[in-house]
């Protein structure tokens, strides 16, 4: 009986090793700074009239830590280069199916703000294609993020 349990444990260990190796092959290393510019649309407000507002902006996603398919880093955005960055935390996951699908939650350290946005993204051809949806202000945009080389 011990021989069968040992063989079973060895088979399980081999399966887990192969699964981990497979995940490493399909999970991209996203660590680093990713930037892109976009045009966003925000809902109208009482002070701006009835029309939605379109604005330009820049997003910097600085993925500082990655463990397997999970990552974390600051998510920063600003309307132009002359404006200070607004900083949030981004936590994300890369799908294990090898598709390059990424899900990101952007949140604030301020408990009154909490989760700020959800981002659906895809890693393809060395770029991150992201669709941003604000949960607080209704702002949306799509952006192509490219890795910055230092």
pLDDT tens per residue, range 22-48: 445 679 999 999 999 999 988 876 555
pLDDT of amino acid 147: 97
Write the DSSP symbol of residue 81: T
Per the DSSP assignment, residues forming a β-bridge with 147 are 34
Q: Please give the average per-residue pLDDT across 36-64, as a whole number.
A: 83
Q: 50 in helix, strand or coil?
A: coil
- In this predicted structure, what is the pLDDT of residue 3? 53
Q: Which residues contact 29 (CB under 8 A, 6 or more apart)?
A: 66
**29-147 sits in which CATH class?**
mainly beta
First to last CA, the chain: 58
Distance between CA atoms of 76 and 150, rounded to whole angstroms?
A: 18
DSSP bridge pairs for 59: 36, 77
Q: Tell me the pLDDT band of 2, cut-offs 50, 70 and 90.
A: low
Express as a percent the part of the chain with pLDDT over 70.
Answer: 77
Provide the mean pLDDT of the chain. Answer: 84
């Amino acid at each position: 009986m011990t021989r069968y349990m040992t063989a079973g444990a060895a088979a399980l260990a081999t399966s887990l090793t192969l699964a981990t190796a497979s995940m490493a092959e399909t999970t991209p290393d996203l660590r680093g700074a990713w930037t892109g510019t976009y045009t966003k649309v925000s809902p109208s407000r009482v002070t701006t009239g009835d029309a939605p507002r379109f604005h330009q902006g820049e997003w910097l996603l600085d993925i500082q830590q990655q463990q397997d398919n999970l990552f974390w880093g600051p998510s920063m955005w600003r309307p132009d280069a002359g404006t200070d960055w607004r900083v949030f935390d981004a936590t994300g996951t890369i799908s294990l199916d090898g598709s390059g699908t990424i899900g990101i939650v952007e949140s604030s350290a301020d408990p009154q703000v909490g989760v700020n946005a959800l981002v659906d993204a895809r890693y393809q051809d060395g770029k991150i294609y992201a669709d941003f949806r604000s949960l607080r202000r209704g702002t949306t945009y799509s952006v192509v993020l490219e890795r910055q080389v230092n």
